[in-house]
Structure 1
């Protein structure tokens, strides 16, 4: 009896593909030079496929009665959802769309065990979904390999699943060889596209499973390269990611809609490149977001504006290999540290009491790169998180971090835009947690903190909310006047209530240098009465520009 695309075959395919990716992970990682040579495409594909496999309910994964439509649909949907939620990197996102294409094709036939036509439909859907996910698709990538596989599956014109799978895998191999000619980055390195190679491994695993042949892939050589036993690859020693795109940022996004996702995609395209945004196809469902950028905070803030980002991942690409000798291991006295930039002694003391190293700036003036570099070295810690607490200080902070890395320290800048974002990040810092997980938690806390402040008008002016007179109290958020109040006490209440309309769990107030404690006490009493679900914290901030600064997280 001809094989069909049922739940047993789906679970068998994922198992075979996972084993094939395990065998070829190192080779795929080694030839990874596009879009950045970070050497993790094979790893990302393997982790994505494992996430898909882990999402299948054990009862559904058990060998079912042949052709059980409900179980086939359950397995296909679980694989797609698991791949989406666990997708790593650009390559993982594309792979998740292959499995989503399978799920949609299975749903289109009501879960009935299908033949070659269902697989062809699945690959066509996958190509459309994957191409739509990438903001600026280029020829010579995994998308080209997927397109060739989909075309071959359709033109095979066969009803037998095994014949269509073999045609798709063969076309993928041919398209993979051609990628070297299509992308200059691949031609210079003499390699095929790593993501395309991973997709070929996955498709060949299905063809091998259906054809009863061993699941051992003979890796295609680059076009014009050596043939026979596989690709002959040379990775350029100086291959490094573009300096402007130092980080890979990924997160899941809930609580959004298509219009806001479109705005997010456009915003990320202006922040960085390699933008990919994919959803699960369910209204109000989950999206997976990916971007390469220099400004981590801006990427996460764009996510916050679009919905509820979570499971945020921030990875810094490898530094160029040519670097001065690292600091001797014995030069570090501790493993972890946090450096916070502040503008007033009261906040400095608050940060020190929470365990941070502090750089005090004079009345929000500039901070030299060498000052920050000295502060990083002064921690004598191997891993340091630097919180600049001002958007204008992000660039010198990054330069200081780069210098420190050349001396052997591992430094990551979390681009906090205000001292309250810095304090929120510091509050969740846990030196006993893994360094990467701790940085993610701090970045999430900072991104989840909205800030605003009160200023006293010095002259008459026309604002977005009306005309103000000298002595009026102005509520400022994101650089714009959002309210005008008769005095500080009323302005504090109005501003806090306005910020809480979007929700919040903690309100932090920093009192300016010339403000009486009664302002904070009155605000706290009102919020405890009107918003009993919110925790209120009041500190002496000591700032001289804003009589009151508020943060909501």
Structure 2
């Protein structure tokens, strides 16, 4: 039996962050299916997962000396705030901030956890302009209240367990508090996401995962076309989100009031530092953006159209299960970190830490149990070899489609749009389009003297490649990296994904991330550990 922890240091808080991601991956579709409020757009689980991954990416970018629970939780709060998606994602960021604020003077112990849940509940209540009972707000309140009711000398395991159990009880009561949930036969999706996070905390502390029922929406209930049924005079067309800096509490208060005038579901939160995240549902997206511009410097503006989201949802409504394709994804991947990224998305991985051959890939395809197999070669084999593999792999019992992914970052972009509810050719087309629209480059160190299209490099030079061609040669690797970033961002982009190799230093990664923030405003940076041996970094621009 594993002995329960008395407190969580930085390493344990990091384990909790990863456990949260794993839990949200496992429950993502379940949460999405429950999502009927405030908009039935079936993306709450996806939003929570994206937000939590942003928190983990911020932790992975910490310097080696930033190892305390407070350092890690502060990074999580910052990453979750800047990467938040949807109402639920912003609220999740405040749970992280509550932990950061409560661990200033030490580890996350019993007292700090009690304070953190209290602080998170207060932060969320103050951030949401019109709190609605029967949502994640209520579930968080009840978790905090249960923590406060514990005995003064209660252990952190007892407090975490009490909070998680109370969250489950509160979640089960949400249909009785919010009519739209009762009508849909669902509990609150965001509340379930919070339960997943609290259960992950219990698991890290005690070593045992709580047993919970699955919260499945009753599809016999009347369908919910739109949360606007709560007030038919209000029709919101857009979800607008952006980050703000160079602002203050007074201007934020004015922004909150203005957004409340032009829309609803207004949430504005801080990461505890100089960054704020704003969210609103409204009819006039331009007015919401103008309000932000008047309140500070805004960046990372995101506008979602609910009408388009509903149309997409209708196109992917579940069909009878008997008609579903038995489809699997197979990706050729180098590095432990990259393998974990792909596997967390349900992708089968073929490792290529050493060069692989066409017969090796063919054997991996044949070993797949799926009737339909989509293959992401990620540049591991030549086009001629892939054609031969594709021909050999297809038979009466297996359909194989090889996608044009030339790098692991392109493969990740493709996986992000995978939808098993589409027919295989449509799914392959959407994934191929996502891959081809992702510009990619790599940074590496020259192993020896060589002639390239831009001149001769010497051993130890920093090389910047776009695709497979060298476009930058610099003696200083950091300089080569910044020049490469300027090249790949020269045609624009909103998101840079950095897949960090095994030999890249923290200083290099931080330097490049800071370069993007300073010189390419409005561009978001996502950093993941790839652990690949060859490239110091792979860069993908979307």
TM-score computed with the length of structure 2 as normaliser? 0.54
Q: Are the structure 2 counterparts of residues 292 and 18 from structure 1 closer, same or farther at C-alpha, using a change threshold of 3 Å? A: same
Deviation by residue 1:203-229 (Cα, 9 ceiling, x = unmatched): 01111222222476433x5xxxxxxxx
8 Å contact 2:184–2:218 — kept in the other structure?
no
Report the Cα offset of residue 138 of structure 1.
1.2
Structure with higher Rg: it is 1
Q: Deviations over 1:93-117 (max 9, x none)?
A: 110000000000001xx1x224211
1:134 to 128, 131, 150: 128
1:171 maps onto 2:166 in alignment: yes
Secondary structure of residue in 1 paired with 2:307: coil
Q: Measured at CA, do residues 116 and 135 of structure 1 come closer, stay the same or move farther in structure 2, by a change above 3 Å?
A: same
* Pair 290,76 (structure 1): closer, same or farther in 2 beyond 3 Å: same
- Matching of residues 49-198 of structure 1 within 5 Å: 49-57=52-60, 71-107=68-104, 110=105, 112-157=106-151, 158-198=153-193
Q: Report whether the alignment pairs 1:303 with 2:263.
A: no
SS of the equivalent of 1:267 reads helix
Unpaired runs of 5+ residues, structure 2, are: 229-233, 316-488, 496-542
Of 16, 30, 33, which residue of structure 2 is paired with 1:30?
33
Alignment gaps of 5+ in structure 1: 222-229, 326-429, 438-553
1:317 to 281, 306, 325: 306
Determine the C-alpha separation between the residues in 2 that align with 1:71 and 1:233: 46
Q: Describe the SS at the equivalent of 2:278.
A: strand
1:218-233 equivalences in 2 (<5 Å): 218-219=213-214, 221=215, 232=218
Distance 1:250 1:58, change over 3 A: closer
Q: Quick one: structure 1 residues 322 and 262, their matched pair in 2 at CA, closer, same or farther if it must change by over 3 Å?
A: closer
> Following the alignment from structure 1 to structure 2, what is the Cα–Cα distance between the partners of residues 324 and 191?
19
- Mark the CA change 1:304 to 1:5 in structure 2 (over 3 Å): closer, same or farther: same
The corresponding residue for 2:247 is: 256
More deviation in 130-139 or 70-79? 70-79
Note the C-alpha offset of 1:279. Answer: 1.1
SS in 1 for 2:304: strand
Deviation at 1:259, TM superposition (A): 0.7
Going from structure 1 to structure 2, the CA distance change for 1:8 and 1:312 (only over 3 Å counts) comes to same
Q: 1:258 to 1:323 in 2, by over 3 A?
A: closer
Q: Distance in 2 between matches of 1:322 and 1:260?
A: 37
Q: 1:131 to 1:27 in 2, by over 3 A?
A: same
1:126/1:21 CA distance change after superposition, 3 Å? same
Aligned-CA RMSD value: 2.8
Deviation (angstroms), 1:8: 1.6
Q: What's the counterpart of residue 240 of structure 1?
A: 226
Distance in 1 separating the partners of 2:286 and 2:17: 36
Cα 1:268–1:122, aligned 2, differ >3 Å: closer, same or farther? same
Report the secondary structure of 2:277's partner residue. strand
- Structure-to-structure mapping, 1:397-408, within 5 angstroms: none
- Quote the Cα distance in structure 1 between the aligned partners of 2:8 and 2:314: 56
Structure 1 SS opposite 2:279: strand
Deviation at 1:6, TM superposition (A): 1.3
Kindly state the Cα deviation for residue 236 of structure 1 after the two structures are TM-superposed.
4.4
Alignment of 1:294 onto 2:277: no
In structure 1, the partner of 2:43 is 40
Q: Could you tell me how far apart the structure 2 residues matched to 1:206 and 1:233 are?
A: 31
Alpha-carbon displacement from aligned partner over 1:214-267 (angstroms, at most 9, x marks no partner): 476433x5xxxxxxxx66455744512537211100000111111111000000
Q: Give TM-score, length-normalised by structure 1.
A: 0.53
Which SS does the other structure have where 2:300 is aligned?
A: strand
Decide whether aligned partners of structure 1 residues 164 and 310 sit closer, same or farther in structure 2, where only a CA change above 3 A counts.
Answer: same
Across the two proteins, how many residue pairs are aligned to each other? 311
How far is the alpha carbon of 1:313 from its aligned partner?
A: 0.1
Equivalent runs, 1:387-536 vs 2, <5 Å? none
| Matches of 2:68 and 2:205, distance apart in 1 | 20
Contact map agreement 1:30 1:235 (CA 8 A) in 2? no
Provide the residue aligned with 1:461 in structure 2. none
Is the 8 Å Cα contact of residues 40 and 224 (structure 2) preserved in structure 1?
A: no
- Classify the secondary structure of the residue corresponding to 2:272: coil
CA–CA distance in 2 between the matches of 1:255 and 1:104? 22
- In structure 2, the residue corresponding to 1:318 is in which secondary structure? helix
User: Aligned-pair distance for 1:310?
Assistant: 0.6
